[in-house]
Structure 1
Amino acid sequence: MSANGFQRSARLQARLHEIVPGGAHTYARASDQYPEHMTPVLERGSGAHVWDVDGNRFVEYGMGLRAVTLGHGYEPVLAAVRDAMSNGVNFTRPTALELAAAEDFLTGVPGADMVKFAKNGSDATTAAVKLARAATGRAKVAICADQPFFSVDDWFIGTAGMNAGIPEATRELTVSFRYNDLGSLRELFDIHNGQIACVVLEAASALREPEPGFLEGVRELCDREGSVLVFDEMITGFRWSAGGAQQVYGVRPDLSCWGKAMGNGFPIAALAGKRELMELGGLRTDAARVFLLSTTHGPETASLAAFRAVVRAYRETDPVGVMERQGAVLADAVNELSRELGTFPAVSVIGRPSCLVFTTADAEGRPSQAYRTLFLQELLRHGVLGQSFVISAAHTDADVEHTVTAVRAALEVYAKALDAGTVDGLLDGRPVAPALRSHAAPRRLPDR
């Protein structure tokens, strides 16, 4: 609970801002994403629970930005990591562990012929773009405009709200289409005839499933136009299934990019795909070689051992099934509460049960950062931490029950704000702000 306040967290957060740009190493983890005076700095975690430096205990959602599906401190993963590390962490030649991990991956993703490991998702997606450009001799990249993030690198981030330092010429090489709208993709191919190297998208997202024929149509368009199809499986991998969205929907991309839950929190990512593309970065090609994911720490043993333990857990147990069941219970309970307290649909839980998000609208039904902050504030006060309701297989019935109790308390305050038409007098501090924005200062509430 937050009974201990956030005094020490506030001091540490202030110090972080002095020595770490933005006060965090990920924009989504930054203090501007949480209520102004409730920015817990965490100390440890176990299962679905985390504790901050003030001793407050929370049921956590989001789970490491969706990187943790088995729970914090999941012992079979930690045991595998300890065993691997006891024999050394980084070497000057490949290890047998690299081969075993690659074979595990390709067994679980049968649509891929080869895989190369890395440390973060941005490197994997950028490598996919580079391979596509090399294979096609084209420069332009088509991305799905409805999906929020693909890479920190210039080819994508130049299209986002934080593009300072990225040349306009680079930004012009990325064009966008709409999800579930084949016509918008066809139009791009018509406008940029013979120029699009690849199409990059998530096969599905928390909020939207592919309509019948959409993914198959994207596959057909890419084949017809000679473009490379790239699936971003960062979120869908190990959350939709161990084999990702491509396994669920039965459409094979040319390349796919993985990360997040691969290591249950340990840093590992992967680029996988067809042999003829992947070999452009290898030694068995007559074409000009692509400099492809050459990293010092890509094959370190701890993360590869973590990945193999995750694969084992998914073979022997059913984490996705647990997340789907617990997520469905949570969504149904919160939506029923919201109807009961008169806050629906302003507050509603939507999305795939294993990857839930909540809406926060004002009295006019408009999405509202101020009302979102109020909801986050009240959840924190009642021992729930999270910018979403993205669940894990470690969330027990008791955790879900605790969350529902916290939501009831939060919705009682939210209902007052809806009735008043304002969060004034209820929200302590400024609203949260979009993580990707061109200027640092978030808007404050007007003074009264």
Structure 2
Amino acid sequence: MRKFARSNKIQDRLHRLVPGGAHTYARGADQYPEGMAPILVRGHGARVWDRDGNEYVEYGMGLRSVTLGHGYAPVVDAVARTIADGVSFSRPTELELLAAQDFLELVPGADMVKFAKNGSDATTAAVRLARAVTGRETAAVCNQPFFSVDDWFIGTTEMNAGIPSVSTVSFRYNDLGSLAEVLESEQVACVVLEQATALAEPQPGFLEGVRGLCNRHGALLVFDEMITGFRWAAGGAQHVYGVRPDLSCWGKAMGNGFPVSALAGKREYMELGGLRTDADRVFLLSTTHGPETASLAAFRAVVHAYRTTDPVARMEAAGRRLADGVNAIAAALGIADHLQVVGRPSCLIFLTKDADGHPSQPYRTLFLQELLERGVLGQSFVTSSAHTDADIDHTLDACHDAATIYRKALESGTVDGLLRGRPVAPALRRIAAPRRLPDGAGR
């Protein structure tokens, strides 16, 4: 059994100093088996090491923000060269122009771009701009997992304490009728959606239909490219599917882990945040660290990597081999209906079901536990272009052993005696239970 004593000690202290013990809820210890949440100290390629000296093949890759691998030398070198001359100034740098040019060459249909630091900056700016353009307040968002930490979206989730009522309504993915109903009954400023997800591709005509409904009802169309950008293609899902939005929001893999996001869109709308308009100006995006040089240098190096190599093809090849291998293991063990790897090859997830075929957090936790014991870290099987054949081989060996134990739990109808500690819980939930910590924990 692997040792986690040092990681656990640090995690206890984190709970004392940082609410939730992590700065991102998806990175929280409640997302991992109890007492087995590694505190990482370094990474290289697709491998990471924790404070106890354990080595892992990592998936998820910085919540999907790392597509080229940890410590990717061309990005690191570009950042090091750039920051030696300074990071933040009181006027724009030429780097801001060069980065904007690079971005707009990639993204079809976008005329202007503004950089920020995280995805929520960009999506909230898009909603604000759409409200100013249309004079309406309501945002219509697709029933997809996450769009922003800001009130207009978090107010619609279970974790909505402290948030006033919000003017946000929802519609169903691949259901034009549900969107038409919303647009006919509400004065909608914008329609916000991911064009595709790990598990869902747009049905023929769906995105074109969304575009048409927005045109008909005078709502701006906003595409969230946080995950699809640089993972579906360098130019995002709009490059793959060919439908052009009014505004699009980007982040995550733009900087291979460096913090950079972007709002892009048509000139007629974006100029409302500038100086070439006679209309009331929109406070679009204005952040101290939005144009800092480290992240823009990282972004330009990422763009160069995508122009000169094919990271998407490599991560998809690794994903296909991994999915095929794990699913073959599950089939050979007779548990293919209970343990499955599904999704786009570059954005895989694993499904864990109990003996009755229902999605199960306890069985998910058991699978995570056994993978961790065998040197595989990940809440998903999201790959990067740095995942090698050796990494996939290691993972498949770990999955074989983990699936064998998973079958034992299915045969007995319970994880009792196999799972150590409480199951994981959804990151966005109303109360701390079922992973509430005792009062005084982490002192």
Q: TM-score range by the shorter chain?
A: over 0.9
Q: 1:49: which partner in 2?
A: 47
The aligned runs of 1:393-404 (5 Å cut-off) are 393-404=385-396
The aligned runs of 1:12-31 (5 Å cut-off) are 12-31=10-29
Shift in Å at residue 28 of structure 1? 0.2
Over 2 Å off, 4+ runs: none
- Counterpart of 1:178 (choices 167, 172, 181) is 172
Q: 1:262: which partner in 2?
A: 254
Calculate the aligned-residue CA RMSD, in Å: 0.8
Q: Counterparts of 1:441 and 1:44 in 2: how far apart (Å)?
A: 31
- Counterpart of 1:239 (choices 224, 231, 238) is 231
Query: Aligned residues: percent identity?
Result: 73
Q: 2:411: which partner in 1?
A: 419
SS of residue paired to 1:355: coil
Q: Deviations over 1:39-80 (max 9, x none)?
A: 100000000000000000000000000000000000000000
Q: Counterparts of 1:394 and 1:40 in 2: how far apart (Å)?
A: 21
Q: Counterparts of 1:152 and 1:319 in 2: how far apart (Å)?
A: 29
Q: 2:5: which partner in 1?
A: 7
Q: Is the 8 A contact 2:340 2:352 kept in 1?
A: yes
Gap runs ≥5 in structure 1: none
- The question of 1:429 aligning with 2:426 is answered no
Q: Deviations over 1:241-295 (max 9, x none)?
A: 0000000000000000000000000000000000011111111111111111100
TM-score calculated relative to the size of structure 2: 0.98
The aligned runs of 1:17-416 (5 Å cut-off) are 17-145=15-143, 147-168=144-165, 170=166, 173-192=167-186, 195-416=187-408
AA aligned opposite 2:120:
S
Q: Is the 8 A contact 1:161 1:437 kept in 2?
A: yes
SS of residue paired to 1:353: coil
Q: Is the 8 A contact 2:108 2:244 kept in 1?
A: no
Q: Is the 8 A contact 1:180 1:210 kept in 2?
A: yes
Q: Is the 8 A contact 2:2 2:373 kept in 1?
A: no
AA aligned opposite 2:40:
L
Q: Is the 8 A contact 1:4 1:55 kept in 2?
A: no
SS of residue paired to 2:222: strand
Q: How many residues are paired up?
A: 436
AA aligned opposite 1:29:
R
AA aligned opposite 1:175:
V
Shift in Å at residue 4 of structure 1? 4.4
Q: Deviations over 1:341-369 (max 9, x none)?
A: 12212110000000000000100110000
Q: Deviations over 1:137-164 (max 9, x none)?
A: 000000001x100000000000011000
Q: Is the 8 A contact 1:127 1:292 kept in 2?
A: yes
Q: Is the 8 A contact 1:375 1:411 kept in 2?
A: yes
Q: Deviations over 1:109-154 (max 9, x none)?
A: 1310000000000010000000000000000000001x10000000
Shift in Å at residue 442 of structure 1? 1.5
Q: Is the 8 A contact 1:115 1:271 kept in 2?
A: yes
